[in-house]
A and B are shown apart, each in its own frame.
Chain A
């Protein structure tokens, strides 16, 4: 039993991404057509050239038909996948494995979510018939428990930590302000953010990801075929997934300052990619900043800094666009909102742009030209019970 990974066996040859926004005038079909067309154009292929499709959507549609119908695909295998907030990433993972296996020469992973048709704020899960005993707490409230736990464990004053969390939001808003695809394009200062009224624990609405509609897509082929399509493919270095068993919710030793599923997932991903020093080997990371305390803890769980130091590293600007390791250079969930099925592929789209030098100069990562690996990360669920996905992507083989 082992996790071998498929390092350097599959490459992304084209990507597309819609603007993330409250697309009152666009349906799920519109978003799918837009993202897939952009990916086809990017790769220089047609929908007939792509052998198989994996379609990630958490709850905007069911079955592969929901992609085959709007794209008018003819006799193609289309699979709908869902894995909480890792749904879009999961679509890519399946598409990559299908190509790596030799079953298909090419595949598309596409993720989309039409969130803003519900009439309600926030993300609202499908009600699965149940015994009525499960928690009805919002994700914001579940993640809000991280902040006081972290403050207590590492001796950080809670008011001080609130400014650290605002610093995370401020950084991501600053990055998003430069990005034409982002939902929110306004810079927010730490003082402005700290003045917002709280909605869950110490968190304000501005500590939470936005809510937007969006779609993103990638086309993958075997690595050895990649240069038939592009001079600058993005190679898959690692794909790792861990689904937690919920033990954190029941384990009295769990202290809400770490996400064990992420730690396991990172170990696996780094082993697959051969990374030993993520802080200095990675050129950038797109992480799942669903709430500001999440990004705080992720810096430690992903090995970007030592335990108990993320708060000071964040204050020092280590993860800024011009920092040591830029994190969420596109603006993150904070600026993009979180159309569940699309987010994972949106993160990869940023890696696609940045590593290949296509991000415009004003928002180019500080590490460009020096390092050539990017990490993308999703989590879905709550502290104590989550799925974690990590990909490592790179521009060169080996």
Chain B
């Protein structure tokens, strides 16, 4: 039996209210919200967050490979999955691959993972957008989802892979020339027509492969960049209406290459044992994957549920969203640009820089960064901390001033003065609780400077308390 052993997702903290777009762009917008990656997030950092959550329930899994899929690759030529690999502190014998460039890349990674002989981690992450006022800008969303794929010999399989159907066809639905910041679309009806024709072919093939009747499907996910086709195909496949899984269009948006894994995770979160999940992906053809949940899913608790993350967002102004995406050029900081990080120094310090591993001296004191004099290493990425003191820096170089900076004391020992993110300056308080998050500090000479920041711990109870003005003391 081979299938899904765990999953984890990451929704960025910021949410853009689509109704705020038209007032500035003149056109576009819509109802509901979309997720917005922070200025210090990219597909790799979001992928790391999702992967950390996917691995949390299966800490002892012996991964053979990690696969990173995105359309918004931070690097070409250099593998992005190795950054994920480093942040997760995976062993050198674990392979790392990128599958880049289209929504289908995620299916390629999933297929490789499902057919490999060792546990595999599939990380799907994407930032979606377009020109101001465009449909892609309003309807897109940023997210990452990670799936741990393996066999029952690796651990309890939560959802067994039971069948696949494929209908590949070359046609021009949407496209983006390398270097362009937006995709272009053919007349929408054309793509919808092709997907309407191809989806049933893949659908029937998958049902036949798994020897399943349509009526047995409990959860149907249709993912792809063509929202209209997703909706019409979902309705046309003959499943019960309540089996169709919400695409989170009103709260997250269409997350592109992340969407197959994100929506599959959403289906898994609402599944009970012995149920059938169908994942239909409409992208340059149609592809269907079928999974059957096992009894193990009843006791599985995801590291941070989708509902929790949807509820835990904070607003972002449309102008700031435009600036973060490079669609509005704002005055740069009047400070020297930071130099590119040294490749050799980063390589030597990779455990610290990517893995956030400190050291412990003979007196038991934690050193952050680690000291060469200490024999014991101390992984700190999962440590939670408390704000001992903080400051707001309006002078420092930042892509999103002011810098909110805190001295963080970690549970179990260790202190680090470090930048906070996903935070509004006014909400910071001494005693506030924080967790670590992998971020891109800046990019210099094309080198992305990845390191860790701290961010407030936000669960639904906390968020509700804040909303009610009853901030816990």
Contact = CB atoms under 8 A, between A and B. Distances in A.
A140 B393 contact: yes
Given A132-B441, A249-B416, A250-B367, A138 B395 contact: yes
A149 B389 contact: yes
A136 B417 CA distance: 11
A149 B451 CA distance: 28
A127 interface: yes
A193 to B, nearest CB: 18
A145 B353 contact: no
A130 to B, nearest CB: 5
B417 A199 contact: no
Interface stretch (A34-42, A118-126, A354-362): A118-126
Nearest to B339: A127
Given A144-B393, A200-B393, 14 more contacts: A127-B339, A129-B342, A130-B342, A130-B345, A131-B349, A132-B338, A135-B418, A136-B441, A137-B391, A138-B393, A145-B389, A148-B389, A200-B391, A256-B407
Interface residues of B, number: 45
B390 to A, nearest CB: 7
B394 A198 contact: yes
- Give chain A's interface secondary structure class: loop
A133 B451 contact: yes
B183 interface: no
Interface in A332-364: none
Interface string B346-367: 1011001100000000000111
Given A148-B389, A252-B409, A131 B346 contact: yes
Contacts of A136: 338, 396-397, 403, 441
Contacts of A145: 389-391, 407
Given A132-B449, A133-B451, A250-B367, A141 B395 contact: yes
Q: How large is the interface on A (under 10, 10 to 19, 20 to 34, 35 or more residues)?
A: 20 to 34
A231 interface: no
A224 interface: no
A306 B389 CA distance: 24
Contacts, number: 116
Contacts of B403: 136-137, 141
A49 B172 CA distance: 85
B341 interface: yes
Interface in B365-399: 365-369, 388-397
B341 A131 contact: yes
**Residue picked from B340, B352, B392, most chain A C-beta under 10 Å:** B392
A122 B335 contact: yes
Interface of A: 118, 120-122, 124, 127, 129-133, 135-138, 140-142, 144-145, 148-149, 152, 198-201, 249-252, 254, 256, 384
Contacts of A132: 338, 340-342, 345-346, 353, 441, 449-451
B161 interface: no
B270 interface: no
25 contacts: A118-B336, A120-B335, A122-B335, A124-B335, A124-B336, A127-B338, A129-B342, A131-B342, A132-B338, A132-B342, A136-B441, A137-B393, A137-B396, A137-B417, A141-B395, A142-B391, A144-B393, A145-B391, A148-B430, A199-B394, A200-B392, A201-B391, A249-B416, A250-B414, A256-B407
A384 B368 CA distance: 13
A142 B393 CA distance: 9
A37 B416 CA distance: 47
A131 B451 CA distance: 9
B78 interface: no
B413 interface: yes
B447 to A, nearest CB: 8
A226 to B, nearest CB: 45
Contact of A133 (B334, B336, B349, B430): B349
B438 interface: no
Contacts of A129: 339, 342, 345
